[in-house]
């Protein structure tokens, strides 16, 4: 069974930019060695070599052709890399540096770079085997033909890359991709059924503080493995951090009872820290990425309220997806007692993370404030839990309060108040009487 550190290393490896290009370079080298061996074996019939389907030129022409393929592919690979860096700079300036991770792990960019580098490596490996008549002629006809095919594949890949990058730097595309991450995180990190009722267990004076000398963001937590260890030792552990939290060196990371050895080591084995937040077990991470796009769009330097409204729409979709699901309560049970208790994300915290910064940066922007209320009107039609409806009501009241303070135009303020009144009507309506809203 992999440890948390092992899973984190595999996750980092899978999302690294160089993995797919490196594999394609290795594949190009192996393909060249294999096809050259096929040419040396003599199993290719002479009739096929003389046909128009395979390369049938001389050694000098083969070297010239492979040299042209190698030089052109490595040159275009440099151009592709330059375009990628320029796109990353544009994305960092307009949408925030935290979204660079989505560009780096994009398989289309990785495949394009790998196709050119793999073809370059293939051409070099085949070129080293070509011999002219003066050197004892050897022309790898099959390998040369495959090299020509790879060159045409690179041409098609370049056309694909241009269109792909144009689409990827479109802000609506970026918002949709991050929104999909949010929806996947909701499905993965929430529950289809309500957790069993119970208490988390009180913290009494017998609990001892567990300190951690590491530093970094908690990226991986193997809660089941830690709970199994605690149940086997008869220990109850209260973690004080959750995935996404920063662990400070020497700070208390957990409380444990009864006092015993090995708790700190067990926590270290089942957790993995890193220099940045990731979305693996952190429900708020992708939400904060979306919010950052909206906040930047509302800044005076960009002033793009349409992008902010697009983000608000996606956040509303996420809240509708969350309506039939339940957030975990942080307890991991073994038998009839909780052996591990962790801090968890609450609904009010999620909604706060979604809307507070956008509302605060939309001061005086009537269109954005109205869109927030429109989205809350849609969400209240999906959500029937009283506690969650109270959270949505609080945010609707905050939007109205900001509008009444900052909006001077009576007509705009009237529009905002009408949306707020509509929210109150939808909150108290019978959900079965409004099927279109109840099934959003």
CB-neighbour burial class of residue 213 (10 A; exposed 0-12, middle 13-18, buried 19+): exposed
Report whether 87 contacts 179 (CB < 8 A): no
- Model confidence at 437, pLDDT cuts 50, 70, 90, reads very low
Percent helix, strand and coil across the chain, each to the nearest 5: 65, 10, 25
> Of 375, 417, 373, 378, which is closest to residue 396 (Cα–Cα)?
373
- For residue 364, the model assigns a pLDDT of 83
Distance of alpha carbon 365 from alpha carbon 327, whole angstroms: 33
Phi/psi of residue 272, nearest 5 degrees = -135, 130
Distance of alpha carbon 182 from alpha carbon 286, whole angstroms: 5
pLDDT at 206 over 60: yes
Averaged pLDDT, 365-391: 93
Report whether 140 contacts 32 (CB < 8 A): no
Residues with Cβ within 8 Å of residue 392, at least 6 apart in sequence: 351, 376, 379, 380, 383, 423, 427
Cα-Cα end-to-end distance for the chain = 41
pLDDT at 195 over 90: no
Report whether 119 contacts 69 (CB < 8 A): yes
Least confident of 6-15, 251-260, 320-329, 417-426: 6-15
Q: What is the mean pLDDT of the chain?
A: 86
- For residue 368, the model assigns a pLDDT of 94
Distance of alpha carbon 320 from alpha carbon 308, whole angstroms: 19
> Of 140, 136, 133, 137, which is closest to residue 65 (Cα–Cα)?
140
- Model confidence at 389, pLDDT cuts 50, 70, 90, reads very high
> Of 316, 372, 340, 145, which is closest to residue 256 (Cα–Cα)?
340
Between 428 and 78, the more confident residue is 78
Query: Three-state SS for 235?
Result: coil
Phi/psi of residue 169, nearest 5 degrees = -85, 0
pLDDT at 393 over 90: yes
Q: Which two tokens stand for residue 308?
A: 């902010």
pLDDT at 433 over 50: no
Phi/psi of residue 188, nearest 5 degrees = -80, -35
pLDDT tens per residue across span 54-110 = 888 888 888 999 999 999 999 999 888 888 787 777 767 766 666 666 677 788 888
- For residue 320, the model assigns a pLDDT of 94
Averaged pLDDT, 272-296: 85
């Amino acid at each position: 069974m992999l440890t948390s550190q092992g899973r984190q290393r595999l996750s980092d490896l899978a999302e690294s930019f160089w993995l797919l290009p490196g594999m394609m370079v290795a594949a190009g080298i192996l393909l060249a060695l294999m096809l050259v061996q096929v040419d040396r074996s003599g199993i290719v019939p002479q009739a096929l070599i003389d046909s128009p389907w395979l390369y049938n030129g001389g050694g000098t022409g083969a070297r010239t052709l492979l040299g042209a393929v190698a030089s052109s592919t490595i040159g275009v690979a440099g151009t592709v890399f330059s375009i990628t860096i320029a796109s990353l700079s544009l994305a960092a300036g307009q949408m925030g540096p935290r979204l660079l991770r989505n560009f780096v792990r994009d398989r289309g960019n990785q495949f394009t770079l790998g196709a050119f580098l793999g073809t370059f490596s293939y051409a070099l490996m085949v070129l080293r085997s070509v011999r002219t008549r003066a050197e004892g002629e050897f022309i790898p006809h099959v390998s040369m033909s495959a090299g020509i095919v790879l060159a045409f594949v690179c041409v098609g890949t370049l056309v694909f890359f241009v269109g792909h990058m144009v689409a990827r730097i479109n802000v609506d595309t970026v918002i949709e991709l991050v929104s999909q991450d949010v929806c996947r995180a909701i499905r993965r990190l929430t529950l289809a059924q309500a957790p069993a009722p119970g208490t988390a267990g009180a913290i009494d004076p017998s609990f001892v503080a567990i300190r951690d000398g590491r530093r970094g963001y908690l990226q991986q937590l193997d809660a089941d493995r830690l709970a199994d260890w605690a149940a086997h030792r008869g220990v109850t552990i209260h973690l004080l951090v959750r995935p996404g939290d920063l662990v400070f060196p020497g700070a208390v990371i957990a409380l444990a009872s009864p006092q015993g050895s090995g708790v700190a080591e067990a926590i270290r084995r089942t957790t993995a820290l890193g220099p940045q937040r990731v979305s693996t077990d952190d429900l708020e991470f992708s939400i904060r990425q979306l919010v950052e796009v909206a906040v930047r769009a509302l800044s005076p330097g960009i002033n793009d309220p349409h992008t902010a409204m697009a983000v608000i729409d996606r956040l509303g979709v996420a809240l509708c997806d969350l309506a039939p699901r339940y957030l975990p309560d942080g307890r991991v049970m073994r038998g009839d007692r909780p052996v591990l208790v962790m801090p968890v994300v609450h609904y009010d915290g999620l909604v706060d993370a979604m809307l507070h910064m956008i509302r605060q940066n939309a001061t005086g922007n009537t269109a954005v404030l109205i869109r927030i209320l429109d989205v809350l009107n849609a969400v209240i039609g999906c959500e029937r839990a009283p506690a969650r409806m109270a959270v949505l009501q609080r945010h609707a009241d905050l939007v109205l309060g900001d509008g009444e303070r900052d909006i001077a135009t009576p007509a705009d303020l009237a529009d905002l108040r009408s949306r707020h009144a509509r929210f109150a009507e939808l909150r108290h309506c019978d959900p079965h009487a409004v099927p279109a809203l109840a099934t959003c």
